[in-house]
Structure 1
Amino acid sequence: MTRLDADGNAEVGTAVGVATGTPTATAPSANRVEPSGTRLDAWWGRLLTIPGAQRFWYWGGPIAVTLLAAVLRLVRLGDPRSLVFDETFYVKDAWTLLNLGYEGSWPDNADRAFNAGDVSAFTTSGSYVAHPPLGKWMIALGLRVFGAQDTVGWRISTAIVGILAVFLLVIIARALFHSTLLATIAGGLFAIDGHAIVMSRTALLDNFVMIFTLLGFGAILLDRSQSATRLSLWLARRADAGRGIDWGPAIWWRPWLLSAGILFGAASAVKWSGLYFLAAFAVYSLVVDALARRAAGIPFFITGTIVKQGPITFLLTIPLALATYLASWTGWFVTKGGYFRNFADTPGNAATGVFSWVPHSVQSFFHYQSSVYDFNVNENSAHPYSANPFGWLFLLRPTAFYYVGQPEGQGGCSYASCAQYVTSIANPILWWAATAALFYLVYRLVRYREWRVGLILMGMVAGYLPWLLYSNRTIFQFYAIIFEPYLILGLVFVIGLILGRPDDSTYRRTRGMALVAVFLFFVVLLSAFFYPVWTGMQVPELFARLHYWLPGWR
């Protein structure tokens, strides 16, 4: 039986609702007819019958929330007009990359001059950097267009990435839930969340990791469908030929898996945390392959996956990821001034014996990577905004990027005292609701084994769980931007369960719609309340203090 959902999308009547993954209600008794749907459902259904309405809604919702994201991220993007938090590293590194091909060093206390427009104080001496170059090259694109003297140029690249990520999340959510409504809600929540807004208005690296991993996540979603289709075709050919299915096929043509390898490699070329996505989703692909083979009746589905498909999955992902990572270091290889670039040329540093044939540039590169690993793993210097990852899901210690206090009459302050500050705190209602949904999804995966839930949780596994292993080093709450899209997808999955379906009973449908509407209203209201402290607006000190809900928020 085929029918249309509230979006006008075709649904197939099965035991599990395609739009939200919710179990459909059993058919009512023949002796009892329950009213279903609401007047709003009926009105919406009539509206979608207007010629062109379905197509307008299909694209109108995603475009609307993307435009909203653009406004919230681009308006006053140049404020504050000074380097904020770790912008002091990445903006200046990006500028020297653009000029030298590698990260050059700066004199001490160079920020004041840089803020004032003097961007020429760098030297040709290589600077020690703890992260690969790709994210800084992306920041450099904005500097190339606007110039390093313009604060908009510092941040425009990460802002554009943050806007595109909203649209991308809508597309992924629609592919997951087959619902433009749920997809638009997902994009809307991402558009108005403070953590995503701040990370899109600050020239840090984490937004770039987020979008590359989200693109990789989308590629894995597409590969999941494509590989299942190819498995079905292979089984059909074997059946027609009267041949057994033994271990199953070795599927080589998986372009979306190739794409995922490149994208996760690009994420790793921004920050090494992208490696966790590469590893997690390579394993995920094998598990999905094994389950698909078992469902198809292949006798040796585990052995076939490990022996036949496993090596292919490795070859389709890891070499491309490595090549992408190495390509990001091209500037370091083709110049001579990068940090440790000539390490192996120094007498006594080059390898001897079996590895003596390795070019000195490669030996120097491996030494550099080893040094960066040691630094990243052992970095535990004290910082007032260091946040234990066990508290990230509860917003215990968000990062304050910027703060300036102003007395009355200074800087346009017309109150007893004013403040301008930027804090990368998420919308608390949205974040805490998403955390609650996350724990429910864990239960739901165990109880129902739904593939959508498993895929969403794998995003959390790759983006969050590895940080728990490094709870003793200096890390920050804002790293959570890498897994925020999956938190939102999990929350929207639960919203879909609460909304139900248009053919649910009127009482159940009305109650679900009311609950979701009230929740979304308060999320929007709270985003408006927090927006000034996400964007560095000048506010009365008293108003600023109203945002200190927990001790760790000060």
Structure 2
Amino acid sequence: MTPRGADRHAWLAIALVALLGTLLRVGYVGTPGFPTDVATFSAWAQRLAEIGPARFYEPGYFSDYPPGFLYVLWVLGVLFQGEPLRLAIKAITIPFDLGIAALVAAYLWKRSGRRSSVIACALWLLGPGVIFAGTFWGQVDAVGTLPFLASLLAAGRKRWLLAGTLAAVSAMVKPQFGLALVVVGAAALLTYVRTNEWRPIARVVLSSVGTVLALGLPFRSGALELIGIVRGASETYPFTSLFAFNIWSIVGDFWKPDDAFFAIGALLLALGIIASCVPLWWRRDTSALLVAGAFTVFAFYFLPTRAHERYLYPALALLLPFAATRARILVPYLVLSLSFFVTLVYVFTQYQLVSAPGYFDALMGSRGGQIALALVMMGGAIAIAILLLRGEASMTPTLPTVPRVALPASLASGGPPRRRDYVLALLVALAVLATRGYRLDQPRDMYFDEVYHARTAFELLAQREPYEWTHPHLAKELMALGIIAFADDRVVGHEVPPPDVTAFAVSNDGVRVYGDRQGRILVADRGGAPRVLFTGPLPALALGVEEDTVYGANEEEVFAISLADASHRSSHALPTSRDVTAFAVLSGGRVVIGTSTLTAIYPAVTSDPVRVAIPSIGVASKPDGSELYLLEPGGSVRVVDPVGGIDSRSYASTGPARAIAYALGPNRLFLARTNEPLLDVIDLEGGHREQVPLANDRTGAFASGATALAVVPRTQFLYALADGRLVIAETHGASPYVALPTGATRIGVDGTGDTIVLPGPAAADIVETGRHALAWRLPGVVFGALLAFVLVLLTRRLFRGAALPAVVGGLVLLDGSMFAQPRIGMNDVYVAAFLVAAWYFVVAAHRPRRSAEVDLLAAGVLFGLALATKWVAAYAIAALALAVMGITALAWAREEPGRGGPLDLFKGRGLNALLLVGCFGAIPGLLYLASYLHWFGGPTAPYGWDLVELTKQMYWYHSGLTSPHPAGSPWWTWPLDLKPVYWYYAQSADGGAAVIYDAGNVVLFWGAFVATGWATVAALRARSISLGFVIFALFAQLLAWIFVSRVVFFYHFFTALPFYLMALACALVVLWEGGRRTVVAGYVALAVAAFLFFYPFVSGVPIPAAEAGIFFILPTWQYGCQFYPTFTCAIGPASDIALGSLVTRLGLPLVLAAISIALWRVPPTRIREWIAARRS
């Protein structure tokens, strides 16, 4: 490589680091930061803008900063107000951080080489402590550190006038940065003492005094006023340690009165600063000045009381040139830098500004942990000091170069898939369809965020305003297509009822019960002929079935008849004869009779009723019978305690109604209007009311309202008879989306048969009810199969090894999150499939079958579909834009502009830039806009918003979603599967339970965590583009969540998960080809065992309720899962699980794993010999 090319490579690396560092900082600008500090700076900026600097320090107004930084705030206060001002203050350190990095890089470029400059930029701009103290916190240490550093570099070049000026500017930013004046002044003074040269000290004194006075003049601050500010700042917090992990944090703890220690600390500080300047007696070059400056910062942080946590910040900048060049300095520097970051996080946890993991609180919350960290920091500082004093204070590079390594041939670049690759991908996709499709209709009702996404799919069909407008809607449109195609809302059969039916009911297990005009009670099994159970004196007016008993009422009495033995009949007189307007049977055999004057609640048929002075024409109740809802003739609803008959609350009428039903899932009441085809919906949580028309484009027009309502308990769907049709509505969104013609006059629910029975004059129609969940979930499973299909082909495109695609496919099949996510009606699997497919065509463009341009167009379309599904696709598009710029720059650095491949902007004399902008800018944008076209101007436009307003509302919703959530988890926990998301829990009467968590396979996740670290290093050392792409795509989807301030969940990791598993597959293949086949076989067997063990945990397969907690292998997996009153679970802790249950549950998977490993260790020849012996 030519020197010019080497320079270009270094410039490119520095630019890349600077861009990444800037993006990291910009991402944190919107966070709250430390509210007190940010609010104080905002108030000072506004004050300066309003009254100017001359009156700023008026008596009684608090300000402990000298004028230096106030000039910056003055400018910001003039330019911005309100939230823009807060954001500007948070962002102000970004140019100063870039300035520090540029200053050190420029200094090292000629003295230590290009590599040292790049390393210095990376250490500073990517340092977590520096980022945290800047844009995350909202503090301004970088503003004072830049002139501090620059003053020492100027003094090292003997530019004393500039050095004095810069040191004075530094001191005027914050008092602690006055250490720059101490070091520069000491160097100038010692120059006079050793060489009798008086000009340096004179220039330093004149320039520094002049600068201080000039900066203070507009603020009317002379020497005495400035001394007063410094004194006031030091006296504001008279405590041992203000979260500085120094000797006083050990001796006296944090924030304790320092009366007994202040003098000692002051003496130690004076001695420390003097000692820090002693090396300048022998050397006053740049290295010696940086050493002395760093030592004074150490002294100011570790020795006095009243030291703040951030006082160590300048030392990290002053030591940066040594860390970037000297191998022995780098390690203690990193220890000190990371420890500094931990202390800042600790401060935020103490003010409850961030939530830290339990182990962090346990460690740092103890005195032992705090003392240990203080000792680590002091040890790091001492180690650096000793090394610098013993010869490491030099800019001669000693960091070893990292040799390039070779990867196995299987990880070499791949190529277009062959026929066998397509066959393999198809087999994996079919396996995904089969395994994820099994029991897909369970649970039958909506769970977790299906109540948003799947609900909205029904709202789109019913032309209702979408409830879930906070994401793009393409996934919900696809679910709606699944509902149309697979819901199977149709009449699937007919039965012949007896003639002259006066009453009808169906038991949960399908027994039909009829009453006729002859007074007979007839029963029929599912599909069977009616038979007479009992003949009474009067025809039944109403019937109901509970357990094995038929309950009913005629004009004179309420009665109960055993289905097993009709001779077991009991009865009780009605409150008033010939007056039955409503009837219901509650759990436990409680019977409710409504009349025109009152409502009677019979605890048992043979008992006297509880009389409630409320007339009712309709009755509904919660399934457990805990609340009774009485529909009054005028349309109002009264809520009554069924035990004592106490009227607890009411809902006023919005119009006459004649039928009522209760849906448990959304906790809503539905009323059928008498005079118009409307449903009156009452939300029992907040009392919200709305009126929903039965008519829409899918259901048609109605001449009259509904006459009967029923809710299917399994699915929570509402069925209404209206105007000769059965209208089916989803209850969470109250969305009538289909209507079936029928001549029925009554409705019965066959629970276990998943049907609705609709008896009419001539026949009873049977309508399927159990396929709705399958319908809205099946598209997700199809996209899960598509994701697996494309991921296998992408692996083949990236890598040469024939086994790698098969390994990736196997890992997809064995992962719990890859299993659970496609089975729920949410949008994550859709966007993940689109993104993986888009990346496939981006990769394919580099070795196209026909045309790279066609591949790029296909990628742009898929990115657009992903963006129309969920905004996280923007992360991938932004990452691709960065890749395009990086590839273009790399080709330029190699002095081959335009030859960087299909993503090179300069290809085709710059015409390729137009293609790339069109493919990855225009096409995704147009597809996103096109996906909303039919929303606007129609009934599905939410709240009448246009697209601009909708986009604003979407952003504000997500940015404001900061309330804690029991299942929320920070981004860094996802790769280790530290907190899976609770989705569903239900118990059955027989002691069984079904549970669904979104949890990854811990064996795969923990292995992939190590594999990702290896792959990152291996990609860099081997210069592997394919392996680098895997890491790039993974981090593009993961790291963007660092800056998201809203509550986030483990399932947000799903778009990164395909590449996480691909990194694991690469590591397994390398181990396999490296002779570690037994290790790989054992690991895979253990992963299979883990999948089998956790299968009920991610699938909802019923297990004994007592064993539901057995899957909580980590403390962080067990948490309170009541998200709102109707969404709770009661899973016992793992400590309640019997040892026998644990052994039983673990036994089979572990035995199978052990057998697999044992068989693997047996040579194939031995196996063939054993089989032959068995046959003989």
TM-score by length of 2: 0.34
The equivalent of 2:985 in structure 1 is: 403
Q: Distance in 2 between matches of 1:62 and 1:433?
A: 24
| 2:720 equivalent to 1:156 | no
State which of 460, 463, 470 in structure 2 corresponds to 1:97: 460
Residue 846 of structure 2: SS of its match in structure 1? helix
| 2:838 equivalent to 1:216 | yes
Give the conservation status (yes or no) of the 8 Å contact 2:1071–2:1080: yes
Q: Distance in 2 between matches of 1:374 and 1:367?
A: 10
Give the conservation status (yes or no) of the 8 Å contact 1:220–1:257: yes
Q: Which amino acid aligns with 1:461?
A: F
State which of 1035, 1043, 1050 in structure 2 corresponds to 1:477: 1050
Q: Structure 2 matches for 1:518-537, cutoff 5 A?
A: 518-537=1082-1101
Give the conservation status (yes or no) of the 8 Å contact 2:457–2:479: yes
The equivalent of 1:427 in structure 2 is: 1001
The equivalent of 2:1024 in structure 1 is: 450
Residue 546 of structure 1: SS of its match in structure 2? helix
Structure 1's 451 and 474: CA in aligned 2 closer, same or farther, altered over 3 A? Answer: same
Give the conservation status (yes or no) of the 8 Å contact 1:340–1:365: no
Residue 543 of structure 1 deviates from its aligned partner by 3.3
The equivalent of 2:741 in structure 1 is: none
Structure 1's 17 and 97: CA in aligned 2 closer, same or farther, altered over 3 A? Answer: same
Structure 1's 324 and 300: CA in aligned 2 closer, same or farther, altered over 3 A? Answer: closer
Q: Distance in 2 between matches of 1:389 and 1:382?
A: 15
Q: Distance in 2 between matches of 1:525 and 1:225?
A: 39
The equivalent of 2:935 in structure 1 is: 332
The equivalent of 2:864 in structure 1 is: 265
State which of 1089, 1111, 1117 in structure 2 corresponds to 1:547: 1111
Q: Distance in 1 between matches of 2:952 and 2:1108?
A: 44
State which of 136, 160, 185 in structure 1 corresponds to 2:476: 136
Residue 298 of structure 1 deviates from its aligned partner by 4.6
Q: Structure 2 matches for 1:480-499, cutoff 5 A?
A: 480-499=1053-1072
Residue 266 of structure 1 deviates from its aligned partner by 1.1
Residue 382 of structure 1 deviates from its aligned partner by 2.5
Q: Distance in 1 between matches of 2:809 and 2:926?
A: 32
| 2:889 equivalent to 1:279 | no
| 2:853 equivalent to 1:254 | yes
Structure 1's 92 and 21: CA in aligned 2 closer, same or farther, altered over 3 A? Answer: same
| 2:1088 equivalent to 1:515 | no
Q: Distance in 1 between matches of 2:791 and 2:826?
A: 21
Gaps of 5+ in 2: 1-404, 488-729, 731-768, 1119-1176
Residue 421 of structure 1 deviates from its aligned partner by 0.6
* Higher RCO by CA contacts (8 Å cutoff, separation 6 or greater): 1
| 2:949 equivalent to 1:367 | yes
Question: Over the residues paired in the alignment, what is the CA RMSD in angstroms?
Answer: 2.8
Q: Which of structures 1 and 2 has the bigger CA Rg? A: 2
Give the conservation status (yes or no) of the 8 Å contact 2:1012–2:1060: yes
Q: Distance in 2 between matches of 1:300 and 1:166?
A: 33
Give the conservation status (yes or no) of the 8 Å contact 2:407–2:1022: no
Residue 1000 of structure 2: SS of its match in structure 1? coil
Q: Which amino acid aligns with 2:948?
A: F
What does the per-residue CA deviation read over 1:9-33, in whole Å, with 9 as the maximum and x for residues that have no partner?
Answer: xxxxx976542239xxxxxxxxxxx
Q: Distance in 1 between matches of 2:437 and 2:1018?
A: 39
Structure 1's 192 and 377: CA in aligned 2 closer, same or farther, altered over 3 A? Answer: same
| 2:891 equivalent to 1:318 | no
The equivalent of 2:624 in structure 1 is: none
Give the conservation status (yes or no) of the 8 Å contact 2:452–2:467: no
Give the conservation status (yes or no) of the 8 Å contact 1:403–1:420: yes
Q: Which amino acid aligns with 2:482?
A: G
Residue 400 of structure 1: SS of its match in structure 2? strand
Q: Distance in 2 between matches of 1:369 and 1:303?
A: 31
Structure 1's 59 and 445: CA in aligned 2 closer, same or farther, altered over 3 A? Answer: closer
Q: Distance in 1 between matches of 2:898 and 2:443?
A: 63
Structure 1's 126 and 453: CA in aligned 2 closer, same or farther, altered over 3 A? Answer: closer
Q: Distance in 2 between matches of 1:303 and 1:451?
A: 19
The equivalent of 2:219 in structure 1 is: none
The equivalent of 2:972 in structure 1 is: 390
Give the conservation status (yes or no) of the 8 Å contact 2:821–2:998: yes
Structure 1's 138 and 428: CA in aligned 2 closer, same or farther, altered over 3 A? Answer: same
What does the per-residue CA deviation read over 1:482-501, in whole Å, with 9 as the maximum and x for residues that have no partner?
Answer: 1110001111111221122x
The structure in which a higher percent of residues are helix is: 1
Residue 396 of structure 1: SS of its match in structure 2? coil
Give the conservation status (yes or no) of the 8 Å contact 1:286–1:310: no
What does the per-residue CA deviation read over 1:277-315, in whole Å, with 9 as the maximum and x for residues that have no partner?
Answer: 111113213433444566684599899479924454223
Residue 178 of structure 1: SS of its match in structure 2? coil
Q: Distance in 1 between matches of 2:794 and 2:419?
A: 19
What does the per-residue CA deviation read over 1:124-183, in whole Å, with 9 as the maximum and x for residues that have no partner?
Answer: x55461011101001111101122752101210101111221121111111212233210
Give the conservation status (yes or no) of the 8 Å contact 2:820–2:1099: yes
The equivalent of 2:1036 in structure 1 is: 462
What does the per-residue CA deviation read over 1:377-430, in whole Å, with 9 as the maximum and x for residues that have no partner?
Answer: 221123210111121111121101001234xxx1x43xxxx4211000000000
Q: Distance in 1 between matches of 2:1094 and 2:1111?
A: 7
Q: Distance in 2 between matches of 1:139 and 1:318?
A: 27
Residue 79 of structure 1: SS of its match in structure 2? coil
Structure 1's 158 and 258: CA in aligned 2 closer, same or farther, altered over 3 A? Answer: same
The equivalent of 1:184 in structure 2 is: 806
Q: Distance in 1 between matches of 2:829 and 2:805?
A: 21
| 2:1092 equivalent to 1:538 | no
Q: Distance in 1 between matches of 2:1090 and 2:485?
A: 35
Q: Distance in 1 between matches of 2:833 and 2:427?
A: 20
What does the per-residue CA deviation read over 1:330-366, in whole Å, with 9 as the maximum and x for residues that have no partner?
Answer: 221251551143x5xxxxxxxxxxxxxxxxxxxx210
Residue 464 of structure 1: SS of its match in structure 2? helix
Residue 481 of structure 1 deviates from its aligned partner by 1.0
The equivalent of 2:410 in structure 1 is: 19
Residue 449 of structure 1 deviates from its aligned partner by 1.9
The equivalent of 2:1010 in structure 1 is: 436
Aligned length: 425
Q: Distance in 1 between matches of 2:803 and 2:449?
A: 37
Structure 1's 226 and 68: CA in aligned 2 closer, same or farther, altered over 3 A? Answer: closer
Residue 55 of structure 1 deviates from its aligned partner by 8.4
Residue 386 of structure 1: SS of its match in structure 2? coil
Structure 1's 180 and 478: CA in aligned 2 closer, same or farther, altered over 3 A? Answer: same
Structure 1's 337 and 143: CA in aligned 2 closer, same or farther, altered over 3 A? Answer: closer
Q: After superposing the two structures, state which structure 1 stretch, 278-287 or 394-403, moved more.
A: 278-287
Percent identity at matched positions? Answer: 25
Give the conservation status (yes or no) of the 8 Å contact 2:962–2:1046: yes
Q: Distance in 2 between matches of 1:82 and 1:128?
A: 18
Residue 225 of structure 1: SS of its match in structure 2? coil
Q: Which amino acid aligns with 1:422?
A: I
Give the conservation status (yes or no) of the 8 Å contact 2:428–2:788: yes
The equivalent of 1:242 in structure 2 is: none
Give the conservation status (yes or no) of the 8 Å contact 2:406–2:1022: no
Q: Distance in 1 between matches of 2:421 and 2:853?
A: 28
